[in-house]
Amino acid sequence: MCGKEPVFYTRTKRYKIYRDVVVCNDCELIYLSPLVKNTEHDEFYNETYRKLFGCPMVPDKAFHEERAPASIYRIEYIKKTAGLGEKTSLLDIGCGGRTFLMHLKKEGLREIAGVEIEPNYSVYIEKELGVNVSKKRLEDLDFHESYDIITMWHFLEHVWDLDKALSVVRQLLRDNGKVFLEVPLIFDIENPPRDKVTFQIAHNYYFTKRSLNGVLEKAGFKVLTSEITPMNFYIVCCQKTWAS
């Protein structure tokens, strides 16, 4: 983010796929080295990602029940921060198995679109909900619409070009719109988490509050509200710092 040389931070230990994780001591951005990108990125998400996580290739009832509390919490956070109505247009980037969109539909929204590169899930969402879903990476999106709200739930840590991804989000967001995102958080940079989930081949980036705010500020966003969710993740609402 700041261009300074990173130093070794820790090592990934999940899925028996090992990679170094490095940190910039100035801006606190933590990331995989080397990043998973280009062909490796596309092959990983098309062929390997769901298998490693043990997720069903087609979401079932248990899948949705497990994810329902997080989806409902996110919707309530949006409602209290920005409001939701029938005419609200919303783009969900990285919509996975549709649990969030399924609950969102109950709010009466008519203008909903999604982005999901995993082919089984994107087809499933279109079939089950009738929602237009792009199967391209965010950096290659060809949407011509703009949206009141853009959501990214556990998505930003997966991209390999933060500048490009957030530039596209900015283009898709209306000038008075809001971006909502949720990420795992490194609460204490001096003590890396020792769980088996945080550091993994699927996550290119790992954020502290400071580094996430810095990434968003650099991309032209200002954080309006933030909080720690009941699931111990970091949820943020932000808007553009200047008009397009």
Residue type, 241: T
Spatial neighbors of 185 by CB under 8 A, at least 6 apart, are 207, 208, 209, 212, 228, 233, 234
Rounded Cα gap, residues 17 and 222, in angstroms:
36
| pLDDT score of 143 | 67
pLDDT in tens, the chain (244 residues): 788 899 999 988 777 778 899 999 999 999 999 998 888 887 877 777 767 766 666 666 777 788 899 999 999 999 999 999 888 999 999 988 778 888 888 888 889 999 988 877 788 888 888 888 888 888 888 767 899 999 999 999 999 999 999 999 999 999 999 999 999 999 999 988 887 778 888 899 999 999 999 999 999 999 999 999 999 999 999 999 976 5
**Is 91 in contact with 143 (CB distance < 8 Å)?**
yes
- Among positive and negative, which fits the CA dihedral 26, 27, 31, 36? negative
Nearest alpha-carbon partner for 144 in 156, 152, 159, 132: 132
Nearest alpha-carbon partner for 88 in 109, 108, 113: 109
Q: What CATH code would you report for 7-240?
A: 3.40.50.150
Which pTM was predicted? 0.91
Please give the helix or strand (H or E) that residue 101 lies within, else none: helix 99-105
For the chain, the 3-state helix, strand and coil shares in percent, each to the nearest 5, are 35, 25, 40
Rounded Cα gap, residues 182 and 171, in angstroms:
20
Rounded Cα gap, residues 108 and 111, in angstroms:
9
For 87, other C-beta atoms within 10 Å of its C-beta total 10
Rounded Cα gap, residues 27 and 36, in angstroms:
21
Structure tokens at 75: 């919707």
| pLDDT score of 183 | 96
> What are the structural domain ranges in the chain?
7-240
